[in-house]
Amino acid sequence: MNEQNKLWGGRFSAASSDLMERFSQSVSFDRKLYRQDIAGSVAHARMLEKQGILAAAEFQQIERGLAELRDEIESGRFDWSVSHEDVHMNIEAALTKKVGDAGKKLHTGRSRNDQVATDMRLYLREEVDGICAGITRVQNEIVKRAGRESGTVMPGFTHMQAAQPVTFGHHLLAWNEMLERDHERFRDCRRRINVCPLGCAALAGTGFPLDREMTARELGFEGVSANSLDAVSDRDFMMEFAAAAAMMMVHFSRMAEELVLWSSPAFDFIELSDEFCTGSSIMPQKKNPDVAELLRGKSGRAIGNLVALLTLMKGQPLAYNRDNQEDKEPVFDTVETLKLCLAVFAAMMPGITAKRENMRTAAAAGFSTATDLADYLVRRQVPFRDAHEIVGKLVACALEQGVALHELSLGQFRGFCRDIGEDVYDLLTLDGSVASRNHVGGTAPDSVRQAAEEAALRLRARTADAG
Ligand code: ARG
């Protein structure tokens, strides 16, 4: 071995400086990939043996050595060293120490460049599956609740002004749709993750007669990457993952913002359970929605990590460049953030109590059924623009008298439009208004109940597929 004990030290005469080692090392964070790294090495070695490149005994030594190393790592007995730079060289050096020459042959037909790309793909594939299961759990909570709140009337907002009455169940199903698409994005991204770079070596492929299909199969990949230059340098599977994650966190942030608003005394639409709130160290009366605020705040990380990855890649020529070592921490951070946020959201949902009376009172304020009145006139052959004008005047009249629309007398209504009859009072009620929107995607209790049932069925089918 060369003087400084590096796996690549042959052509070097001076040892690395401590500063260089500290700057260059990634083992402090990429050791997270030890399982994937070992699985990749076992698959590669098995293929080398089948191809006659390794002897059977050599493969067995490698397989046994790697299994022992795995145990040592998991029981905390493995001695990670920055002088071996990254997870790959730490494990390879330890293997060689354990089994001698067979360990030195493991890297035949392989480079850390295809190795690290493989490790990250194996890692993300597994994490995406966990994240998808986490999204399904949150969706289940949301959909269950939506079914129970299909008849709960609340104000629907545009511009944060009460616009038209909607049902709380309908609002929750809007959240479910966002997460449904997030789930789809992760599933879709998984297909492009699940391609095996092994065999592409440093950048140009290898002269050894490898069986790339076999290695890919061993590792559960759908296929092998089609171009070696691309395979070792492509990080768009990570950018795609980070983009799907950032989008999901933006959705969570918007939902969390609504929880913050609704739980504030000014709205008083919901009560969050004590478990997911904190008190103030100075104001004894306070119950703060810190968990919802953190969910909102953590979207910043996910967005930042996406931007970090995009920026990391934008100037890189083919093929592998060391810049790519910087891809790991943003991806790891996004994965950990997502898993935590999904678990918290699912746990927090059942503890949310809807204050149905307060929601209804708020929905009744602000002339929220004015559009229903305009539509009523249209059904009586008044052109929509004229109907809009008439209702605008009626609202002004009610405002002047300090009453709600349904508190105007029939005489007053007819003073503005002769086409208004006694039946107008039915549709000015909140329940009449929401019940009339009984179409696919509409807010009527019947439509929401049906949509919630269908969503629950879809989720059940999805869970059955995954199992
Ligand atoms: N630690 C490196 C990374 O994360 C592994 C690949 C290093 N390859 C190289 N040619 N220096 O990207």
User: Does ligand 1 have an atom closer than 6 angstroms to the CB of 86?
Assistant: yes
26 lines ligand 1 (CB under 6 A): yes
DSSP symbol at 165: E
Q: What is the CATH number of the domain that holds 197?
A: 1.20.200.10
Q: Which residues pair with 157 in a beta bridge?
A: 162
Both 267 and 154 in one domain: the answer is yes
* Identity of the amino acid at 339: K
Beta strand pairing status for 353-354 and 223-224?
Answer: unpaired
Q: Are residues 119 and 81 in the same domain?
A: no
Please indicate, yes or no, whether residues 194 and 213 belong to a single structural domain of this protein.
yes
Task: Indicate whether residue 90 lines ligand 1 (CB < 6 A).
Answer: no
Which of 108, 137, 164 is the endpoint of a domain? 108
Q: Is residue 398 part of a domain?
A: yes
Q: Looking at the structure, tell me whether residues 350 and 391 fall in a common domain.
A: no
Q: Could you report the per-residue pLDDT of 220-270, keeping only the tens digit for each?
A: 999 999 999 999 999 999 999 999 999 999 999 999 999 999 999 999 999
If you average pLDDT over every residue of the chain, what do you get? 95
Closest by CA to 338, choosing from 140, 148, 130, is 130
- Give the Cα separation of 220 and 196 in Å (integer): 9
296 and 343 in a single domain? The answer is yes
pLDDT of res. 4: 65
25 close to ligand 1 (CB < 6 Angstrom): no
Angle subtended at Cα 67 by Cα 98 and Cα 224, rounded to the nearest 5 degrees? 110
The answer as to whether 392 is a domain residue is: yes
Banded model confidence at residue 1, pLDDT cuts 50, 70, 90: very low
Cβ partners under 8 Å of residue 250, min gap 6: 299, 302, 303
Calculate how far, in angstroms, residue 116's C-alpha sits from the geometric centre of ligand 1: 7
Tell me the catalytic residues: 159, 280
Q: Distance of alpha carbon 149 from its chain centroid, rounded?
A: 26
Categorize the per-residue pLDDT at 3 as very low, low, confident or very high, splitting at 50, 70 and 90.
low
Residue 11 lies in a domain: no
Q: 15 pLDDT band (50/70/90 cuts)? A: confident
131 in the same domain as 223 = yes
Tokens 């001698």 map to which residue?
A: 100
Give the model confidence (pLDDT) of 104-114 as tens digits. 999 999 999 99
Number of structural domains the chain divides into? 3
Residue in 31, 83, 115, 322 to alter for ligand 1 test, most ligand atoms within 8 A of Cβ: 322
pLDDT in tens, 48-75: 999 999 999 999 999 999 999 999 999 9
pLDDT tier for residue 11 given thresholds of 50, 70 and 90? confident
Any atom of ligand 1 within 6 Å of the Cβ of 81 = no
Q: What is the pTM of this model?
A: 0.94
Is residue 225 included in any domain, yes or no?
Answer: yes
Across 337-382, where does the E strand assignment appear? 353-354
Which numbered atom of ligand 1 lies nearest the CA of 328?
4
**80 alpha carbon to ligand 1 midpoint, in Å?**
17
Q: How far apart are CA 164 and CA 153, in angstroms?
A: 10
31, 54: one domain: yes
State the CATH number of the domain containing residue 58. 1.10.275.10
pLDDT tens across 431-460, in order?
999 999 999 999 999 999 999 999 999 999
User: Measured in angstroms, how far is the CA atom of residue 266 from the centroid of ligand 1?
Assistant: 54
